[in-house]
Chain A
Amino acid sequence: MVGIWTDITFYLCAAIAVFSGWRVFRTDSMVRASFLLLISFLAVGVIMLLLAAVYLGTALFFMMAVEMMVMALFMVMFMMNPAGLNPMNMVHQPWVAALLGFAVFTGLSLVAVYGEFPANPAPADLDPVRSLGRELLGDSMLVFESAGIALLATMIGTVVLSSHRGRYGPANEGSEPPGLDPGGPPAKSAAQKQQQREEQKEQEEDKQDHDQ
């Protein structure tokens, strides 16, 4: 009973993954293409759940959601097309792509059909999430943590290098407000003016004291 449902779910998800993967190249908008690709990945995620890769399957959901979202956002941002709703051609160099696609498909199919896969069946009581966690934070901890720190440092570095906003424009160009007339002296705030006036007053008083 359960086996039939697993099979049905598998074939359904496989069909969805292939169909939406195909539609990625037939649609006419970048946003639609990104989210069709997302649907394809989500279907693959469900198949991974069926394969008992529970953590990887669920993680694939949110990883792909973030990635496709960010991709769609940036593509629309860099596109001279109002929000990507105007139709546009989504493919270029179709013949090269077709040849490459065919070659990759043939190669992977050959591996799948003729490859020798190791036969070491997992024990029935194996907890995949726990064993994955042990792997990540056990023997391979140094590798993963180094990669993590390197990525984090890269991200912080990128933000620091790209975002240098100050009160009056880029922070590395000084913090002076712009002039009231073009090229004029920087405009001062009321508090600064008050301070300036008080300083002048003090100077005058000092002068008077000095004169006396």
Chain B
Amino acid sequence: MILNELLLPIFVVLITLILGAGVVDYLHHATSALGKQMSLRRSLNPLAPLYRLGLALSQQSVITEHPDRLNLRLAPALYFALAALGLAVVPWSADFIPADLVTGMVLWGAVEVLATVVIFLCGWSANAHLPLLGAYRYVSLGLSYMLVSMFVLIGVALPAESLQLSAVVESQREIWNVLRQPMGLPLFLIVGLGLTFWGPLDFASSPDLDRGISADQSGASRLVWQLARYAMLVAFSFMAATVFLGGWLGPWLPGPLWLVLKATLVLLILLWMGHNLPVMTPDKFISVAWVLLLPLSFVDLIWAGALALW
């Protein structure tokens, strides 16, 4: 009983996040090489993530002057733990759900917000000005897409009449949410870029801040932070696949395989967006988020509500 109900879910969640992080690293570098016509053979090498892992582990881990050591060490672990928490509520099939919480959707919202705290702590605890600026930026921009996330997720909960993710998957048996609420997935993907400060929404560790919160990271400490960030991207992909692409539902293949395939698709779209969406200055993004994205999420919610009533 303990083996099946306690250890197996924990094992599945952790393995998914760690393997997934490797896949993210591989795909990220491979797609970036495709775009820039760099040496393809080296970037497409399936062992490339392991080389990068070894390189990071062999580098010295530089530490800033008088940091808050506890928080500096804890922040990456907590960020990874949040990714695990988010992935834990995702159902893999009708009867395998690591944590079938009645309020799974609310827990995911909490993960997004707590991620803000953890990312802030990571930048703040370094006791250096560039990481601090990155941390501040992340927090001040966080609210603008977190509201979008809330409205989009409420829209998804409406047809399911539940905040439980297994019910959300069941509600998509006839038609997936990506078709039922066409604006939901694009908006949620932007939230995903923000949550993992990826691509154009990488305001926390952007080049104009000399990589912000990552400015003073090197070696192993940089490795764990990147690992946690990749893991969060993986958890987000699973969540997006579950709430918009019907989760584990699908013909012929077993449920978990469908879920992995759909999550990989979301991951590829996210990486493509990361490479191809235009980079904005933070203040411009704030305007876009509040003037364009937030009203669009209202429209999405009204659309979902009208459909649910009809």
Contact = CB atoms under 8 A, between A and B. Distances in A.
A166 B209 CA distance: 25
B50 interface: no
Given A61-B110, A83-B127, A85-B127, A54 B116 contact: no
Nearest to A72: B120
Interface residues on B, range: 20 to 34
B117 A35 contact: yes
B41 interface: no
B163 interface: yes
Contacts of B101: 54, 58
Interface in B139-175: 139-140, 163
Contacts of B110: 58, 61-62, 65
B66 interface: yes
A129 B114 CA distance: 22
Interface residues of A, number: 23
Interface in B105-123: 106-107, 109-110, 112-114, 116-117, 120-121
Contacts of A127: 102
Given A65-B116, A66-B113, A85 B103 contact: no
Given A69-B139, A72-B120, A55 B109 contact: no
A85 B139 contact: no
A149 to B, nearest CB: 15
Give 8 closest A-B pairs by Cβ, nearest first: A61-B110, A62-B110, A65-B113, A58-B106, A62-B113, A58-B103, A65-B114, A85-B127
Interface of B: 66, 68, 71, 101-103, 106-107, 109-110, 112-114, 116-117, 120-121, 124, 127, 132, 136, 139-140, 163
Interface of A: 29, 31-32, 35, 38, 54-55, 58-59, 61-62, 65-66, 68-69, 72-73, 83-85, 127-129
